[in-house]
Amino acid sequence: MKKLFSWYNEEGKISKPKSKRCKHPAQLGLFAFVVFCLALLVWDVSSNGGVSGFAQLSRPAMVQGSDTLSMDSDSSVSDEMEDPGNSEALDASADWAEAEVFAAYRMDREQSRADELALLQEVIEDEASSEEARQQAEQRKIQVAANIEAEARAESLLDAEGFGETVVMMGTDQATVICAVQLDAVTATRIAEVVSTTCLINFENVVIVNRNAI
């Protein structure tokens, strides 16, 4: 037979034993949660070779690729816009590039003149050349030398008047001027006047071309 247990209450009556219940269920739930977190942490460390996944998540990600390059380029562009020294460097670079273009035009002109002078010299030295051919070759050599001097003088005057880099190329009865300034009626007229007077060319035979249109 099962043994029965009973308790007397304050009134002397027998009462059934009450089952013991936890007076604080919230504490029990918190304790269970802490145990669960500790077990999860132990498992995470063992599965990641001693490095916690929580620590990995807390590390900043390394951004690579186009996003980083874009950020760097935007930063550099911003620095250039804010730094007046960069603006001056860009202007100096543009001036240097323009000077190189006009230097190339002058080299082409000089090479053409050198080739012409070489041909004229051959005519003069050729025993088969007639006397008239030799005289014409001599006169042309003198004219070429005069043109070289006039071109240099015209370019110097145009630069002094603020027209910047120019190249003047004289032909038989006309002159071509290559310039970098923006052309309008007033500017073109003044350039033509300077070249016409310096090179002894009729005003209407002066051709002016902006280098950007070439």
Among 156, 157, 117, 155, CA closest to 137:
117
**Domain limits, the chain:** 89-213
Residues near 52 by beta carbon (within 8 Å), at least 6 away in sequence? 41, 44, 45
Q: Is 177 exposed, middle or buried (0-12, 13-18, 19+ CB in 10 A)?
A: buried
Q: Which residues of the chain have pLDDT under 70?
A: 1-92, 94
Distance CA 115, CA 113 (A): 5
The predicted structure's pLDDT at residue 99? 85
Query: What is the CB-side half-sphere exposure of residue 182 using CA atoms within 13 A?
Result: 0
Q: How far apart are the first and last CA of the chain?
A: 122
pTM for this entry = 0.56
CA angle 42, 46, 48 (to 5 degrees): 120
Residues near 60 by beta carbon (within 8 Å), at least 6 away in sequence? none
The 10s digit of each residue's pLDDT in 1-58 is: 444 444 444 444 444 445 445 445 555 565 666 666 666 555 555 555 544 444 443 4
CA-CA distances (angstroms) from residue 55 to 36, 44, 61, 114, 150? Answer: 19, 11, 12, 78, 81
What are the strands, taking DSSP E only, across the chain? Answer: 7-8, 14-15, 166-170, 175-179, 206-210
The predicted structure's pLDDT at residue 205? 97
For the chain, give the mean pLDDT. Answer: 75
CA angle 132, 136, 139 (to 5 degrees): 140
Distance CA 162, CA 151 (A): 17
List the CATH code of the domain at 89-213. 1.10.287.4300
The predicted structure's pLDDT at residue 51? 46
> How large is the greatest C-alpha to C-alpha distance in the chain, in angstroms?
163
Residues near 108 by beta carbon (within 8 Å), at least 6 away in sequence? none
